């Protein structure tokens, strides 16, 4: 654990197995986590910000990242596959309402997908919509982990650079999230518990799994057993091997 090892902690981040704002007690959770003496961050897909109670609970955090992948309904449905009862205009109005009332650090994250939302006009509309939110940072990302759909691919680098330039016209600070985030996963002393907990929300590259097994003093047999039992799934993506927890409906 970072504190046990004397490392600085920037934020305690709420990023659950699903969308954090689905939790009816999110506000209470944030308040209780403050007893740890660490600033609280929440990563949300922004789909429920049209609800006043959700905005109120989320406003208790210190840092919030809102996912904004599109600025028109067709592209939004194609990329984000929202629940059928959600309406884009309502969701977009929720983003704006939250940005207006939130006193903490607001950032946005946009995942660029080849032939889905990386077209020039789509990027221009998305950048303009994010500009209206006035985030401290607008992050641009590309798929680097196994996607939910096999057709999902990262855009050409030229499209990413063009998107960056367009976003920079609307937002003061734009940053790219293009590379591998590293193997520094925190966990418990149990390799099995750590692997299942982490891979439920974040696919792990093979080398990261190896480092975790070494750190906990576990052997490869733990990994082999979890795969054989069907609790972990082995996937290939972008020339790398990943492990992800098998969940119903995934």
Integer Cα distance of 53 and 45 in angstroms: 16
User: Which of 55, 155, 150 has the alpha carbon at shortest distance from 110?
Assistant: 155
Each residue's pLDDT, cut to its tens digit, for the chain (250 residues) gives: 455 556 688 899 887 767 999 999 999 999 999 888 999 999 999 999 999 999 999 999 999 999 999 999 999 999 999 999 999 999 999 999 999 999 999 999 999 999 999 999 999 999 999 999 999 999 999 887 777 788 888 898 889 989 999 999 999 999 987 755 544 555 567 888 888 887 776 678 888 888 888 888 888 888 888 889 888 888 887 677 888 887 655 4
User: Which of 108, 109, 119 has the alpha carbon at shortest distance from 160?
Assistant: 119
In sequence order, which residues have a C-beta less than 8 Å from that of residue 57 and are 6 or more positions away? 21, 26, 27, 30
Helix, strand, coil shares of the chain as percentages rounded to 5?
Answer: 40, 15, 45
User: Which of 217, 219, 222 has the alpha carbon at shortest distance from 195?
Assistant: 222
Integer Cα distance of 25 and 104 in angstroms: 20
User: Domain 12-177: what homologous superfamily?
Assistant: pyruvate-formate lyase- activating enzyme (3.80.30.10)
What is the pTM (predicted TM-score) of this model?
0.77
Integer Cα distance of 145 and 168 in angstroms: 26
Q: Would you list the domain boundaries of the chain?
A: 12-177, 191-245
Give the domain 191-245 fold. Answer: Arc Repressor Mutant, subunit A (1.10.10)
Residue 210 has, within 13 A of its CA and on its CB side, a CA count of 6
User: Which of 236, 220, 108 has the alpha carbon at shortest distance from 173?
Assistant: 108
CA distances from 121 to 8, 70, 124, 127 (A): 42, 11, 5, 10
């Amino acid at each position: 654990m970072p504190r046990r090892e004397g490392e600085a902690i920037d934020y305690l981040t709420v990023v659950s197995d699903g969308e954090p704002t689905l939790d009816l007690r999110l506000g209470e959770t944030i308040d209780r986590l403050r007893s740890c003496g660490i600033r609280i961050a929440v990563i949300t897909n922004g789909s429920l910000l049209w609800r006043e109670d959700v905005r109120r609970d989320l406003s208790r955090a210190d840092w919030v990242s809102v996912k904004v992948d599109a600025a028109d309904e067709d592209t939004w449905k194609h990329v984000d596959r929202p629940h059928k009862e959600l309406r884009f205009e309502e969701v977009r109005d929720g983003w704006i309402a939250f940005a207006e009332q939130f006193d903490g650090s607001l950032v946005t994250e946009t995942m660029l997908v080849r032939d889905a939302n990386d077209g020039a006009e789509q990027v221009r509309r998305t950048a303009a919509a994010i500009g209206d939110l006035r985030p401290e940072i607008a992050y641009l990302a590309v798929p680097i982990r196994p996607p939910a759909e096999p057709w999902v691919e990262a855009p050409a680098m030229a499209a990413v650079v063009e998107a960056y330039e367009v976003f920079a016209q609307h937002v003061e600070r734009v940053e790219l999230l293009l590379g591998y985030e590293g193997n520094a996963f925190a966990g418990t002393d149990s390799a099995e518990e750590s692997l299942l907990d982490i891979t439920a929300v974040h696919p792990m590259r093979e080398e990261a799994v190896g480092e975790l097994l070494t750190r906990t003093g576990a052997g490869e047999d733990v990994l082999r057993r979890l795969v054989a039992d069907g609790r972990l799934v082995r996937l290939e993506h972008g020339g790398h091997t990943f492990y992800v927890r098998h969940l119903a409906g995934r």
